[in-house]
Structure 1
């Protein structure tokens, strides 16, 4: 009999896993959004509205045999997924791919694509009208947003503040990468304030227009009329039953074995941002996880072959700073500058990869 696999979450890892599993099992993809959201290009779409219709991609053609259910999982156990509608889907295998939440606009925070587009347009208009923008956080999202804003509005004041002493502080990238990153940001005119936390949070809500002044603890004053929070990844794992929840860490991430199963569970897998694997939480990593899990479910369903182990990749990054700028790094290629980064990611934002995966080409 054909195995039933429920994939919970239709992000980068979820669609990759569902598409692969659809070839050999009955797959059900559960996702509350009405479309796949290409979050990699969300900041580009915020600044350049012509991208807005390009980042919301329908699920209609993803599966040839399985089905996509627009609903939210409210409880998952080792053999079934219960939905907000009350439906319970029995499963031989479960793949948890619910990812993480992150402050808008790096990730859209509504499930309806029309409402998401409206919110992005409203925020774009606020950005266009602003004179000064404050970005809190010098991780990939904060720096990418700074680059996009300066590309769209070269004369707009953009300040990035982070209490850490350097950009991308959470990952041990080579000094050459940070130097090239600083050089390009300086060339764009982005003001950087590192090692200087704010004395108080801005008085307005993120993305809410209105002039304000804040100071860093050393006393530096920053004037702006719009700000965004660019930190705070929160894994989405609150739907697990008591048995599965033992894998959840305090931050919400899930421990997994080398085969990407929850500890003590033979048929429950987790992939992507949801996992506690010590590596960058990227679309590419989620897709690699999905390949391993699809192979392992096939081996288990066929009762043959050894399971595949996932080996975390060494630190790597491709960070665009607008369509023509950015910095990339991998141990094999070393540090790549603006031109190479633009060719890798900056112009297309890899959209073609996901239109192909979703069977939207042609």
Structure 2
């Protein structure tokens, strides 16, 4: 976009460009989401694009990247929250403008993204290229009482709340004179037999089994953890033998595993299973899968099981300048073939982020785009202590070797040396000194249930987006 120049009266010469300003605006690249995919894309763009080639902006309510796979260890107290919140401002080449908020609608025709800032203010952000990596939300179902009762494990705040809540149940049970209340406070239910649910149940079970030693009035036998899932197998991606190994480890610890079972009804003091059992409990943790961000629906594009249907180059067909990846996109898995799409895992998201950055650079420099191809490196599941199961490059591992691979992978995937140092220090300190089982007490009266964290009603309809963006087009934000 050309800058308007100011002429002096009677000056017939062509206007001179204002000093220090470009005569042609740089392309605007807007990245939505600061998860694995979005951050990797931004960092790649910062490293490989000259400052005069494009302007970069990132939409995120927080100025950090959350390392989600280690969230259960934050809930259990093994890691501090800050250790897995990797700052976005530590990069030496940091020049991206961070917009503190969340994208709630996109108008691809006007090339405008509607953003709700953390203050609640709505703003229109114009772009030339947009990278949609808004991630996912917790997948819920129409189960009575679920969103008002269950707690999630998708954010740093939720992990901190879960830890406070679990320890508070031990405190309240210890102080109670009512055997029924005491029993209900010492039963915990985790729904979801995937990685998040299994690791959450494993880590929190270790937390309560260690903490109960500090409560001489409590009978350790009263503490019961339930892990349930509607699927017939626990973590089927691991394969039959490793899945059974994980089950055996948890059962030896006393975790009651129920497969082919879900929740029929949830209440503040009890949960009803679909097999008819009623479990008195004050703790329901819901990790039964994820769904693509509702932002996907605002584009009016074709989807595959709720995820944007993109090409192997991660462009959105029929939409100029739109790239999508990560949990929000059904990226073809060319390494597997057979019309498969990439699973929503961190390793795919990180590599997709780098490939999208390369393809945007290729577009700017008039070069051909390259498809995304990556062979899955395997899976790691940290069950706490010396227990783990891993399948790196198809090799099945258990126990300490699996634990070394799991923690080594997570440690190496942390983006900054500061984060790596914090995590390693936390692991060593926890192994040597254990936990003090302290509750922070912040906002202790806030329910902190799924309803409090899943802002699924905050997104605009396509009609509302068009009303806001009519006439916006490519104007300066």
Which band: TM-score by shorter chain? 0.7 to 0.9
TM-score after normalising by structure 1: 0.83
Structure 2 gaps of 5+ residues are 1-23, 140-150, 172-184, 210-219, 332-340, 423-477
Change beyond 3 A, Cα 1:43–1:290: same
Partner of 1:178: helix, strand, or coil?
helix
Work out the CA distance in 1 between the residues paired with 2:33 and 2:380: 25
Work out the CA distance in 2 between the residues paired with 1:197 and 1:81: 38
Partner of 1:22: helix, strand, or coil?
helix
Change beyond 3 A, Cα 1:118–1:359: closer
Work out the CA distance in 2 between the residues paired with 1:178 and 1:117: 25
Work out the CA distance in 2 between the residues paired with 1:123 and 1:143: 19
Q: Does 1:214 align with 2:272?
A: yes
- C-alpha displacement at 1:66, in angstroms? 2.1
Query: Among residues 244, 250, 256, which one is paired with 2:310 in the alignment?
Result: 256
Work out the CA distance in 2 between the residues paired with 1:223 and 1:359: 41
Aligned twin of 2:472? none
Q: Is the 8 A contact 2:136 2:291 kept in 1?
A: yes
Query: Among residues 60, 73, 76, which one is paired with 2:89 in the alignment?
Result: 60
Q: Does 1:47 align with 2:72?
A: no
Query: Among residues 328, 331, 350, which one is paired with 1:287 in the alignment?
Result: 350
Change beyond 3 A, Cα 1:339–1:240: same
Work out the CA distance in 2 between the residues paired with 1:289 and 1:28: 18
Aligned twin of 1:203? 267
Structure 1 gaps of 5+ residues are 205-209
- The equivalences for 1:1-362 within 5 A come to 2-23=26-47, 24=49, 25-48=54-77, 50-62=79-91, 64-78=94-108, 79-84=111-116, 85-102=121-138, 104-108=151-155, 119-126=161-168, 128-129=170-171, 130-154=185-209, 155=220, 156-169=223-236, 171=237, 173-198=238-263, 200-204=264-268, 210=269, 212=270, 214-217=272-275, 219-220=276-277, 222-238=279-295, 241=298, 244-249=299-304, 251-277=305-331, 278-304=341-367, 306-311=368-373, 313-314=375-376, 316-330=378-392, 332-346=393-407, 349-350=410-411, 353-356=414-417
Q: Is the 8 A contact 1:324 1:346 kept in 2?
A: no
CA deviation string 1:5-47 (max 9, x = no partner): 1101111111111111123042111112353322222211111
Work out the CA distance in 2 between the residues paired with 1:226 and 1:134: 6
Change beyond 3 A, Cα 1:347–1:315: closer
Partner of 1:54: helix, strand, or coil?
helix
Paired residues, number: 341
Partner of 2:231: helix, strand, or coil?
coil
Work out the CA distance in 1 between the residues paired with 2:274 and 2:295: 35
Change beyond 3 A, Cα 1:8–1:325: same
Larger Rg: 2
- C-alpha displacement at 1:299, in angstroms? 0.8
Work out the CA distance in 2 between the residues paired with 1:131 and 1:338: 28
Work out the CA distance in 1 between the residues paired with 2:347 and 2:232: 28
What value does the CA root-mean-square deviation take over the aligned residues?
A: 3.0
TM-score after normalising by structure 2: 0.64
Work out the CA distance in 2 between the residues paired with 1:51 and 1:31: 22
CA deviation string 1:159-199 (max 9, x = no partner): 11222221124x4x42222122222222322111112345x
